């Protein structure tokens, strides 16, 4: 048995190796001669590393670790584990849960959590996530030099998961500044600094993977997605651009295992900056308010109203006394521009309105009856009890009595009387025709139209009879459109549906 090459093989190796080496030298020489003058690829790599190190050295002192503690009351503590009667474990856990942990004779149990934050003002104002300090009895800030300071809560906003803290350090503190998150581009390099898994002062790098992500967190979702390593404990920490400016606050990660898999989300600085300014000035958030219920513009809806592409926010209804109603915004309008910026998709409008200064008059462009219409809107202030601006579908009740069938739409209609309004909890001032039955296999059923829905408009024209409905459908056919725009009302409000015309 041999463990190395044979004599013949050993004799051939040097010849092959010399040929390969000579060939590689020729290739590398040719490649080097072909490089453009002034090429500094290796130097650029080193300078990038150096720039990250320089930035980290400058930014680290402004990033803090946050430690919180709270007392869990008896109502919030877990149930006592079940052990056999007389078991020593039964006595131990009973004492622990009823009297509290050792050193806490007043009952309840102490719970701690760790997170991150960053200083935005030399006087000691610190930003973090609301969920980092939520329900905390004590908040401790640990600076980069290991100084521990007690912090007080200035204010919070749960809708964007942000909180503002204040410490008294008896000295000016290093701080960082916000940048323009709207100017950040997909593919740009970013730096995250924080306290992952309790390891303070950790620096990671990555790129911006996407922008304006909606992760179903709240009504103002517009997250920056990054592949920089973000783990538990990074929450509330800053996401920096390569100029050392904060363009986001690391808020959430997507991970089946709970660890980093390269998908993390940061709330954009442009959304948070005004929120933090309001908290600092007023102790609460003041958001712009328009007063409309809106829904997405689908390809079918766009085709039915003559829009060349599906974008903007379709107004289902405008609240009475709202800025929208005062400005003349109507049901059926599609808001396609807000304050000089295109509304690329429906969910962007609430964010754009919320960021607008209260009492400011802004230009708005709507799509109405096949034309662009310019409107001026004076922005109001959103109250906490205002409903969300998104109009959704509502499941209806069971089948009703048969009515006059509209074959081309796949449902039947009945006149809307007081009995129907009471039965389906429809407002007294509602007008139109009530849906009596829906073809189970038709497009209307697929679109969520249910018995009890009130058909208010067809082709943006009010209808009060089946004949008027069929007349509007005929007009849509004459324009060679494949879908007709319908406005429905039910107990949850108004919504538009683009329905394909059959027959």
Q: Residue 482 is inside which H or E element, if any?
A: none
Number of H helices, E strands in the chain: 11, 28
Tell me the C-alpha distance between 328 and 84, whole Å: 72
**From its phi and psi, is residue 437 left (phi > 0), alpha (psi between -120 and 50) or beta?**
beta
- Catalytic site residue 299? no
Q: CB within 8 A of 424, min separation 6: which ones?
A: 396, 397, 434, 452, 454, 490, 491
Indicate which residue of 67, 131, 331, 333 is catalytic.
131
Tell me the C-alpha distance between 383 and 133, whole Å: 24
Indicate which residue of 161, 221, 333, 453 is catalytic.
161
Tell me the C-alpha distance between 450 and 453, whole Å: 6
Beta carbons of 441 and 467 less than 8 angstroms apart: no
**Across 9-61, where does the E strand assignment appear?**
none
- Catalytic site residue 131? yes
**What are the beta bridge partners of residue 438?**
411
- Catalytic site residue 175? no
Identify which of 322, 307, 317, 224 has the alpha carbon closest to the alpha carbon of residue 271. Answer: 224
Give the CA radius of gyration of the chain: 31
Collapsed DSSP state (helix, strand, coil) of residue 5: coil
Percentages helix, strand, coil for the chain (3-state, rounded to 5) are: 25, 30, 40
Indicate which residue of 67, 181, 222, 235 is catalytic.
235
Collapsed DSSP state (helix, strand, coil) of residue 361: strand
Collapsed DSSP state (helix, strand, coil) of residue 379: coil
Tokens of 142: 């640990």
Beta carbons of 289 and 353 less than 8 angstroms apart: yes
Beta carbons of 128 and 119 less than 8 angstroms apart: no
Pairing mode, strands 63-72 and 341-342: unpaired
Collapsed DSSP state (helix, strand, coil) of residue 234: coil
Q: What is the DSSP string of 59-120?
A: HGGGEEEEEEEEEEPTTTSPPPPP--TT-HHHHHHHHHHHH-STT-TTSSEEEEEEEEEEEE
Would you say how long the chain is, in residues? 503
Q: What is the DSSP string of 166-227?
A: E---SS------B--GGG--TT-EEEEEE-GGG--SEEEEEEEEEEEE--SSSTT--EEEE-
Residues annotated as catalytic are 131, 161, 235
């Amino acid at each position: 048995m041999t463990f190395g090459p044979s004599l013949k093989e050993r004799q051939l190796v040097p010849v092959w190796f010399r040929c390969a080496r000579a060939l590689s030298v020729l290739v590398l020489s040719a490649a080097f001669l072909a490089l453009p003058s002034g090429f500094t690829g290796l130097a650029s790599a080193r300078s990038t590393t150096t720039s990250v190190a320089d930035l980290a050295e400058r930014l680290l002192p402004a990033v803090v670790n946050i430690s919180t503690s709270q007392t869990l009351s008896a109502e919030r503590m877990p149930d006592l584990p079940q052990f056999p009667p007389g078991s020593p474990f039964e006595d131990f856990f009973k004492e622990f849960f009823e009297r509290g942990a050792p050193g806490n004779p007043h009952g309840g149990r102490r719970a701690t959590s760790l997170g991150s934050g960053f200083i935005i003002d030399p006087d000691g104002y610190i930003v973090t996530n609301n969920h980092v300090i939520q329900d905390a009895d004590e908040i401790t800030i640990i600076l980069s030099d290991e100084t521990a300071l007690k912090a007080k809560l200035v204010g919070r906003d749960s809708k964007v998961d942000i909180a503002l803290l204040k410490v008294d350090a008896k000295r000016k503190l290093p701080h960082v500044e916000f940048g323009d998150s709207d100017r950040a581009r997909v593919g740009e390099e970013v730096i995250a600094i924080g306290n992952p898994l309790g390891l303070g002062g950790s620096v990671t790098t990555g790129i911006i993977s996407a922008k304006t992500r909606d992760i179903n967190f709240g009504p103002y979702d517009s997250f920056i997605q990054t592949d920089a390593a973000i783990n538990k404990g990074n929450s509330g920490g800053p996401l920096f651009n390569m100029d050392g400016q904060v363009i986001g606050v690391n808020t959430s990660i997507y991970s089946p295992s709970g660890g980093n898999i390269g998908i993390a989300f940061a709330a954009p600085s442009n959304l948070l900056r005004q929120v933090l300014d309001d908290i600092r000035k007023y102790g609460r958030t003041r958001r712009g308010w328009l007063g409309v219920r809106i829904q997405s513009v689908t390809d079918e809806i766009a085709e039915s109203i003559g829009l060349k592409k599906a974008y903007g926010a379709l107004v289902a209804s405008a609240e009475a006394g709202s800025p929208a109603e005062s400005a003349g915004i109507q049901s059926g309008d599609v808001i396609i521009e807000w304050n000089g910026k295109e509304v690329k998709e429906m969910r962007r409008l609430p964010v754009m309105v919320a960021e607008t200064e209260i009492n400011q008059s802004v230009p708005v462009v709507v799509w109405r009856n096949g034309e662009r219409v310019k409107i001026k809107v004076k922005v109001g202030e959103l109250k906490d009890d205002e409903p969300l601006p998104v109009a959704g579908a509502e499941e209806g009740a069971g089948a009703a009595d048969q009515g006059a069938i509209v074959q081309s739409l796949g449902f039947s209609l009945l006149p809307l009387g007081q009995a129907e309004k009471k039965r389906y909890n429809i407002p007294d001032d509602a007008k139109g025709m009530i849906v009596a039955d829906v073809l189970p296999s038709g497009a209307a059923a697929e679109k969520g139209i249910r018995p009890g829905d009130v058909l208010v408009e067809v082709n943006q024209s009010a209808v009060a009879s089946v004949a008027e409905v069929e007349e509007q459908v005929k007009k849509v056919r004459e324009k060679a459109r494949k879908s007709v725009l319908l406005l429905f009302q039910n107990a949850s409000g108004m919504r538009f549906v683009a329905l394909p015309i059959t027959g």
